[in-house]
Amino acid sequence: MEKGIRKNILVAQSGGPTAAINATVAGVVSVALASEKVDKIYGAKNGIQGVLDETFIDLREKINNIHDLELLSQTPAAALGSCRLKLKDLKKDKTEFEQIVKNLKKYDINCFIYIGGNDSMDTVDKLSQYCAEHQINDLTVVGAPKTVDNDLMGTDHCPGFGSAAKYIGVTFSELERDCNVYKTKAVTIVEVMGRNAGWLTAASSLARLNGMKGPDFIYLCEPAFSIEQFVRDVEGRLAKQDAVLIAISEGIKNEHGQYISEQVQSGAVDAFGHTYIAGSAKVLEDIVRERIGCKVRSIELNLMQRCAGHIASASDVAESRMLGMKACQCALEGQNGVMAAIIRISDSPYTVEYAAVPVSEVSNAEKKVPDDFINSEKNDVTDKMTAYLKPLIQGEIQQEFENGIPKQLVLY
């Protein structure tokens, strides 16, 4: 085959890391390696920033064999690096777009696959529009979804979410055991990621799948959070049992949409006289201590919930890889401005299809938890949520360990 008709592809990652985002890169690379249409396979370091800076990596050099692809799929976070750069409004300032296209042309890149969340899909949307408007027909821009928050429209769920959900479900099952060993009234409040969407917090309910009690209460960030109801809930449960385990979203807000942490902490200052911004769990810990007076502890699952590759969901990793494959296929077929997506056909048996959806329908929107996934008291989830979540955490990856520590593939 002549060089002229072979395509060069570029893949990049953006937004917060997850345990499964590298599987999407592995999916892109595997389709590219298998295709006779593909010549160069580039990765850009640090997302669209790397495209602007021309920091490209030759992935054929870095990924030498099928074992490397497996290791890459098992390595958490973003092996190509990430960025938080949102491109300027196309109508107001074309400078960045001109530079991006110039750099892509310089390397004869025909396909650009961008893996990420809302902001990244905004980049795909704008850049694909720019190409269409300027008749740049030899460049196809395609998105692949990724976010632990699971808040992307257009896809049933997002790569990275299932693994984070599994980490959260497993961790709550372990915390339940830990919190129940003493005969002491004690409250444990666990803060889960999610400023505007409560999907990850809802995953705490998965600790119940094998007949355990799981969290006593689950407060998502979608309904208004009432401190008075919270105190009543906790007091009521403490009257019946010793240990109370609670899951809350970091973004719980009062009926005025104000974050609980901002509302309560307004007067607090740290040792330097700065306003002290605590997490929601810490704020509720103080409230329990003040209003109820029992032993209380707050826990933040922090970065661990998004990077715990060792407890990744096998389903999530496999689907993430499939979406990378789908995105690469779409790019090779010239489907400009689409995002690879998962369409759920049924919960049980769990069946999905992979589709290409217009990225314009995805970018700059947020998928929140629907009302009927939350109970009427707004302190737990419903069976509909469980049916939705359960398939996403199935299967354990057989991670490769060396010296008792997971092996990882590092690209730069």
Range 128-187, binding a second copy (CB under 8 A): 166, 169-171, 173-175, 177-183
3-state secondary structure 67-89: HHHHHHHHCCCCCCCCCCCCCCC
**Can you spell out the DSSP letters for 223-239?**
SPP-HHHHHHHHHHHHT
Residue 255 binds a second copy, judged by CB under 8 A: no
Contacts of 356 (CB under 8 A, 6+ apart): 142, 326, 330, 335, 338, 339, 340, 341
Near a second copy by CB under 8 A: residue from 186, 252, 308, 330:
308
d(CA 367, CA 385): 14
Residue 106 binds a second copy, judged by CB under 8 A: no
Contacts of 57 (CB under 8 A, 6+ apart): 42, 43, 44, 45, 80, 411, 412
Instruction: Name the residue type at position 155.
Output: T
Residue 299 binds a second copy, judged by CB under 8 A: yes
Active site residue 383: no
Residue 276 binds a second copy, judged by CB under 8 A: yes
Helices (H), ranges, 54-160? 59-62, 66-74, 95-106, 118-133
Tokens found for residue 1: 């085959």
To the nearest 5 percent, what fractions of the chain are helix, strand and coil? 40, 20, 40
Near a second copy by CB under 8 A: residue from 66, 304, 343, 365:
304
Residue 257 binds a second copy, judged by CB under 8 A: no
Q: Which stretch binds a second copy (CB under 8 A): 249-257, 282-290, 360-368, 375-383?
A: 282-290
Report strand pairing: 405-406 vs 401-402: antiparallel
Contacts of 411 (CB under 8 A, 6+ apart): 43, 57, 59, 62, 72, 79, 80
Nearer to a second copy, 50 or 223 (CB): 50
Nearer to a second copy, 178 or 377 (CB): 178
Q: Are 369 and 202 in contact (CB under 8 A)?
A: yes
Smallest distance from a second copy to CB 36, Å: 33
Residue 77 binds a second copy, judged by CB under 8 A: yes
Helix (H) or strand (E) holding 141: strand 140-145
Nearer to a second copy, 75 or 120 (CB): 75
Q: Which stretch binds a second copy (CB under 8 A): 122-130, 227-235, 295-303, 335-343?
A: 295-303
Site residues for a second copy, 330-389, by CB under 8 A, read: none
E strand spans, 290-350: 295-300, 338-346
Site residues for a second copy, 4-43, by CB under 8 A, read: 13, 17
Closest CA to 200 of 219, 185, 174, 186: 219
Nearer to a second copy, 44 or 332 (CB): 44
Q: Which stretch binds a second copy (CB under 8 A): 4-12, 93-101, 135-143, 299-307?
A: 299-307
Give the angle 216-156-374 at the CA atoms, nearest 5°. 25
Q: For residue 257, count CB atoms less than 10 angstroms from its CB and return exposed for 0-12, middle for 13-18, buried for 19 or more.
A: exposed
Q: Are 35 and 332 in contact (CB under 8 A)?
A: yes
Site residues for a second copy, 57-76, by CB under 8 A, read: 75-76
Nearer to a second copy, 134 or 213 (CB): 213
Catalytic pick among 122, 125, 149, 233: 149
Counts for the chain of helices (H) and strands (E), in that order: 14, 13
Q: Which stretch binds a second copy (CB under 8 A): 24-32, 35-43, 115-123, 261-269?
A: 261-269
Nearer to a second copy, 178 or 371 (CB): 178
Near a second copy by CB under 8 A: residue from 35, 49, 129, 375:
49
Q: Which stretch binds a second copy (CB under 8 A): 97-105, 268-276, 318-326, 373-381?
A: 268-276
Site residues for a second copy, 390-409, by CB under 8 A, read: 390, 393-396, 401-408
Nearer to a second copy, 140 or 188 (CB): 188
Smallest distance from a second copy to CB 282, Å: 9
Site residues for a second copy, 205-234, by CB under 8 A, read: 206-207, 209-210, 212
Q: Would you please indicate which residues are annotated as catalytic (active-site) residues?
A: 149
